[in-house]
Structure 1
Amino acid sequence: MPYTATHLAQPPAREDIDSLTGAAVLEFGTPWCGHCQRAQPLIEGALKDRGDVAHVKVEDGPGQRLGRSFSVKLWPTLVFLKDGKEVERLVRPQGQQEIADALQVLAAPAG
């Protein structure tokens, strides 16, 4: 499941995120956030050929528990997960290369 253009209608539960298997990018933001809008081409470019990485796009905001459980403070925040565990995080990425570099961390062997 490469790049996802729209936010989920309902955010997943933290337990569902923790039980993911394989590589995933959890993206927190909103459709109206300017920083989020500017980052979309970068995120899409980095994920377009990465069918091995699940992209979970979550609309964040006040009272949204999933974002709070990941201590999200600024949008967009990308949390890179391997088997449900955070291995890397980018806040307001400025370039496609830094996203690609974080994706490489997902591909690295554990250890």
Structure 2
Amino acid sequence: MPYTATHLETPPTRDAVDALRGAAVLEFGTAWCGHCQRAQPLIEQLLEDQPQVEHIKVEDGPGRPLGRSYRVKLWPTLVFLQDGQEVARVVRPESAQQLQDALARLRT
């Protein structure tokens, strides 16, 4: 699944994320967040040629259990997962290289 432009209406549960198989990028943020908006071209560029990497875009905020379970404090936060386990994390990416380095930790 390539880049996803919109946040999921209903986020997955932590159990569902932990049960994922393969490579995935879990992105936390909001549509109105300026940092999130600025990062979108970098994220889209990263994932455009990675159809084997699932992109799960989750709207985050107070009381949102999935974000709290990952201790998300700033947006966007991208959690790189291999078989449901975190292998890398990038908070407020400023360069394509930061994202490429995290992606390299996945088996794609």
**Structure 1 residue ranges (4+ consecutive) displaced by more than 4 angstroms after TM superposition:** none
Q: Which amino acid aligns with 1:8?
A: L
Q: Which amino acid aligns with 1:88?
A: A
1:47 corresponds in structure 2 to: 47
Distance of 1:50 and 1:104 partners within structure 2? 12
1:106 corresponds in structure 2 to: 106
Percent identity of paired positions between Structure 1 and Structure 2: 68
Distance of 1:46 and 1:24 partners within structure 2? 12
Distance of 1:2 and 1:53 partners within structure 2? 7
Q: Secondary structure at the residue paired with 1:16?
A: helix
2:21 corresponds in structure 1 to: 21
Distance of 1:62 and 1:82 partners within structure 2? 27
Normalized against structure 2, the TM-score is what? 0.98
2:65 corresponds in structure 1 to: 65
Normalized against structure 1, the TM-score is what? 0.95
Name the count of aligned residue pairs: 108
Unmatched tracts of structure 1, length 5 or more: none
RMSD: 0.9
Measured after TM superposition, the shift of residue 107 of structure 1 is 2.5
Quick check: 1:6 aligned with 2:6? Answer: yes
Q: Secondary structure at the residue paired with 1:106?
A: coil
Measured after TM superposition, the shift of residue 93 of structure 1 is 0.4
